[in-house]
Amino acid sequence: MPAPTSPDAPTIVVAAVALVRDGAVLTVRKRGTSRFMLVGGKLEPGEDARDAAVREAREEVGLELADVELLGEYVSDAANEPGHRLVSTVFTATSAGDPVAAAEIAELRWTPLDPAGLDDLAPMLEHHVLPALR
pLDDT tens across 100-116, in order?
999 999 999 999 999 98
Which one-letter DSSP state was computed for residue 7?
A: T
What are the structural domains, with CATH classification, of the chain? 11-112+120-133 (3.90.79.10)
pLDDT at position 64 is 96
- What are 65-81's pLDDT values in tens digits? 999 999 999 999 999 88
Q: Which residues contact 90 (CB under 8 A, 6 or more apart)?
A: 15, 16, 17, 18, 38, 40, 70, 71, 72, 73, 74, 128, 129, 132
Q: What distance in Å separates the CA atoms of residue 134 and residue 114, rounded to the nearest whole number?
A: 8
- Helices (DSSP H) in the chain: which residue ranges? 49-61, 123-124, 130-133
Regions of the chain short of the pLDDT cut 50: 1-3
Of all residues in the chain, what percent carry a pLDDT higher than 70?
96
How confident is the model at residue 27, as a pLDDT? 98
Name every residue whose Cβ is closer than 8 Å to that of residue 45 and which is 6 or more positions away in sequence. none
Residue 70's nearest CA partner among 37, 93, 48, 47 is 93
pLDDT value of residue 1: 42
pTM: 0.91
Write down the pLDDT at residue 5: 64
pLDDT attached to residue 9: 82
